[in-house]
Chains A and B, each alone.
Chain A
Amino acid sequence: MKLIGEKGVQRILSFTAFSALTALMLIALFIINEGLPFIFKYGIINFLSSSDWRPQSGMFGIFPMVMATLWVTFGAMVIGAPLGVAGAVFLSEFVPRPVMRIIKPIIELLAAIPSVVYGFIGVMVLAPFIRSYMGGAGLSVLAGSIILGIMILPTIISISIDSIMAVPQSYREGSLALGATTWQTTHMVTIRAAKSGIIASIILAIGRAIGETMAVIMVAGNSVKIPHSVLDSVRTLTANIALEMSYATGLHRQALFATGVVLFVVIIILNSIASLAIRKKIAKK
C-alpha cells in the first residue's frame, strides 16, 4: 500500500466509483435511446392517456397499464411497509438479540426465492382463495399487491433492522434515563434516528415492486383494463413489456422500450418525492 500512497488510493477509488456509475448510466442511456424516438413520433400525451393498446393496428395507449402499476405498487406498499417496519422495530428493540440474530438470516433467505415461485404459489393458493371469498377471478390487483408486498418484506425488514441497530446505545440510554418507557424511547428517539435507513429500505423496496415482472404476470391477470376495484384483473407496465417483447418488432418494440422510459420516469419522480420528504424533516430539526 505504501507504494501507492494516499493520492493513489484516492485515484483508484474515484476510478472505480466513476466506472460503476458509468456502467449504470449505460443502462439508462440504453433504455432512453431505444424508447425516446418512439415517444417523439407517437406523442407522449397520446401514449399515456389512450386506453387502446392494439399493436397490430398501430395503437399504443398505456393508460390502463399505468393505472395498474400505480394500484398494484401502492397496494404492495400499504401491505409491505407497515408490516416490514413494524417487524424490524419489534425484532430489534423488543426481542432478545440472539433470537433476532437467528430470525434475520431466515428473512434474508426469503429474498432469494425466485419471483416465479412466489408467482406460482400466488396462482395455486392465493388467487383461488380470493376468488372464493371475495369474488372476481382471483387473479387481480389484490393478488398482485399481496404477493408483491410479501416479496418486498425481506428488503424492508433487513435494512431497517440494520439502521435501527446502528443507532448508538447512548441515545436510548439517555432517553430511558429521562424516564421514558422503552416504547416511548423507540418511537420518539430510536426510529427517528434510524429514519434515513428505514426510508432508504422502503424506497429500494418500492423500486423492486415497480420493477417486478414474473410474479405479477402470473397473478394479476394481465387484462388490458382500467381497474375499478381491487378484484379486477390488470396488466402492469412491466407485465406488458415482458409479455410482448420477445416477438415485437419495429414500432411495437420501440413502444415497449418507451414503456420502460415511462417506468424510469415514474421511479425518478417517486424517489424525488421521498428525498424531498427526508430533506424537509431534517430541515425541520
Chain B
Amino acid sequence: MKRGDIVFFIVCLLAVLVWGCGKNKLSVTLAGSTAFQPFAENLAEQYMKTHPDVTITVQGGGSAVGVQSAISGAAQIGMADLVILPDEAKALTTTIVARDGIALVVHPSNPVTNLTSQQVRDIFNGKIKNWKEAGGSDVPITVVSREAGSGTRSSFEQIMKDIHLTKDALIQDSNGTIRETVANDANAIGYLSHGLLNEKIKAIKIDGQECTIESIVAGKYILVRPIYLLVKGAPEGEIKNFIDYVLSSEGQQTIKAKGLIPVK
C-alpha cells in the first residue's frame, strides 16, 4: 500500500539520521551571557576558519545559565557578564576577556543631560517620581529595568549601590526591548549595554562623565562590568586554545570592532 511505503521510508530516513554523523570529537560548547553570545559566535567563526578540525557551538540562556553549565559540564566554557560572580562560581577558573559599559538612557526629547549618582539612585528607588525634580519637565518618570536575574541589572545595582527598585518600574527582558521601550516613551529612563546605543535614544552623563570607551578605560565612567569566561578546573587543550585566541590581539581587535571594550 502506497501510504505504508511512505511511512516505512520516513522511518528508515529517521533511523539513518539517528545513526548518521556522530558528534565531532573536537567540539567545544560555550553557554551563558546573551549579551556576549553574538561576540562569542563571531569569535568562534573566525577561530574555526584557521582551525577547521574544531567545532565551537555557542548557546545563550543568560549569565546564570553560563555559571550553571560550566559547573555541570553541559558546556565547556561558561560566559557571564556579572560584576560580582555568585558563590558557586568560586570553584571555576575565571578569565576576563572584555568589558562592557552600561549606558543610562532616556528619550532624545528629554532635556536632561546629566544626573548625579544620588539622583540616579533616587529615581530607580522611586523617591524622585517627576522629571522636574531632576532638572527636566513636569512629567512623571517611567522607570524601566531588566529582570532580577539579568547580569546587566545586577551589575547596575551593585555599582550604583543601595538600589531597591520601585514597584512601579516596568521590567523588560532584554537590551533590545529596553531600547524600544525608552525610544517610544518620552518619560522613560533605562539602562542598557553601551554597544547598543543608537539615534533613537540618548545616553546621559552620570556625575558629569559620559559613557564612552575613553572615559571607561580611564576609569572615570563608573558603570562598567567585566565579561568572564568560566571553566571548571584549569583550561586545557582546545578550550585553552580558544580562550587564548579571544585574549590575543586579533580576538581583542574583533571585540573592540564590534562594540565591546577590550581587556587591555
Contacts and interface: CB of A to CB of B under 8 A. Distances in A.
A138 B68 CA distance: 36
Interface residues of B, number: 23
Contacts, number: 69
Interface in B119-154: 142, 147-149
B167 interface: yes
Given A137-B185, A218-B177, A243 B149 contact: yes
A124 interface: yes
B148 A139 contact: no
A123 B181 contact: yes
Contacts of A199: none
B37 to A, nearest CB: 13
Contact of B142 (A137, A242, A248): A137
B241 interface: no
Contact of A233 (B149, B170, B177, B180): B170
A244 B148 CA distance: 7
Contact of B170 (A56, A128, A223, A244): A223
Interface in B156-211: 167-173, 177, 180-181, 184-185
Contacts of B168: 223, 225, 233
A55 interface: yes
Nearest to A131: B185
Interface residues of A, number: 27
The 10 A-B pairs of least Cβ separation, nearest first, read A247-B64, A247-B149, A222-B171, A243-B147, A246-B62, A128-B184, A221-B170, A123-B180, A137-B142, A246-B65
Given A223-B168, A243-B171, 20 more contacts: A56-B148, A120-B180, A123-B184, A124-B184, A127-B181, A131-B185, A138-B184, A218-B172, A218-B177, A222-B147, A223-B167, A223-B169, A225-B168, A233-B170, A243-B149, A244-B149, A246-B65, A246-B149, A248-B64, A249-B64
